[in-house]
Amino acid sequence: MNLKAIQIGLAHILAAYMRLVRFTTRWTFDGHEHFKDLQKSNQGFVVCAWHSRFLMTTAAWSKMKQKPYVLISRSRDGNLVAYTSLALKLGVIRGSRKVGAKAKAKNKDKRGAGALREMVQTLKNGDCIFMTPDGPRGPRMRMGEGPLRLAKLSGTPVLAYALSTSNKILFNSWDRFMLPLPFGRGKIIFAEPLYVPTDADDTEIERLRLHFENVLNTASQNADIAVGNAPILPAEDNPKRRARKRTAI
């Protein structure tokens, strides 16, 4: 059996597990009206949750006109996430990834530009993009500019999406990955959507980045506290590393 077949099989198992967690967890919501209003608007929007909460992120999806698309890196690890997303009937957009030293920089630029164009068109078509703004390698709970640049180009809002569950395994990984277990208490918090002015300069983008990062961190920590968890704190900020980061899973 080849690697692709193994990954596809694992992806279907993982997708089934995510459905099990979704339907056996007792979820409560704060700010659900923000999500519902965007669903009813039929416009495109960007949704952001931290990388550590990825296995819970289908919990709030419901029937809506917008089809969710997930931005996923073009790495081997990203392949499993892509197959899992497809098994969950989500759209997939593959972003750029680091390549070997012999690869030409222009090829990386083409992949990144192509993914950006696809995301902008997806949003203008009235669908939504899900992003993990600290993925795929961190720093933990530190946001890159990608979602805000995308919102500026597409004219669509960005929505902070925070999740936590009482029944989980917490890994000692860079993102403190949270493996949700069935039959727990779950908390989901949506913040008010953020709109990025089309004429926002670099200074304004940085101000909005800091604001949105704080909003998503506060919401995530409040979700942790609501289900009895110790709040997970962000890693020490590293602006140089953040500047190079691609917000793909």
3-state secondary structure the chain: CCHHHHHHHHHHHHHHHHHHHHHHCEEEEECHHHHHHHHHHCCCEEEECCHHHHHHCCCCCCCCCCCEEEEECCCHHHHHHHHHHHHCCCEEEECCCCCCCCCCHHHHHHHHHHHHHHHHHHHHCCCEEEECCCCCCCCCCCCCCHHHHHHHHHCCCEEEEEEEECCEEECCCCCCCEEECCCCEEEEEECCCECCCCCCCHHHHHHHHHHHHHHHHHHHHHHHHHCCCCCCCCCCCCHHHHHHCCCCC
pLDDT score of 112: 64
The answer to the question of residue 249 being in a domain is no
* Bond from prior residue into 231 cis (ω within 30 degrees of 0): no
pLDDT score of 162: 98
CA nearest 179: which of 80, 19, 54? 54
Listed in sequence order, the residues at least 6 apart from 70 whose beta carbon sits closer than 8 Å to its beta carbon are 81, 82, 85, 90, 91, 92, 93, 129, 130, 249
What is the residue whose two structure tokens read 């640049």? 149
Distance CA 32, CA 26 (A): 15
The answer to the question of residue 25 being in a domain is yes
- Domain coverage including residue 202: 3-244
pLDDT score of 62: 79
Domain count of the fold of the chain:
1
In one letter, which amino acid is 60?
A
Q: pTM here?
A: 0.89
Question: What CATH number should be reported for the domain holding residue 114?
Answer: 3.40.1130.10
The answer to the question of residue 85 being in a domain is yes
Q: Which two tokens stand for residue 160?
A: 């902070």
Q: pLDDT per position in the chain (249 positions), as tens?
A: 688 899 999 999 999 999 999 999 999 999 999 999 999 998 999 999 999 999 999 999 877 889 999 988 887 778 999 999 999 999 999 975 433 334 444 455 555 678 899 999 999 999 999 999 998 889 999 999 999 999 999 999 999 999 999 999 999 999 999 999 999 999 999 999 999 999 999 999 999 999 999 999 999 999 999 999 999 999 987 766 655 555 667
The answer to the question of residue 93 being in a domain is yes
The answer to the question of residue 32 being in a domain is yes
The answer to the question of residue 235 being in a domain is yes
Instruction: Give the dihedral sign, CA 147/153/159/165.
Output: negative
The answer to the question of residue 192 being in a domain is yes
Pairing, β 68-72 against β 91-94 = parallel
The answer to the question of residue 233 being in a domain is yes
pLDDT score of 98: 39
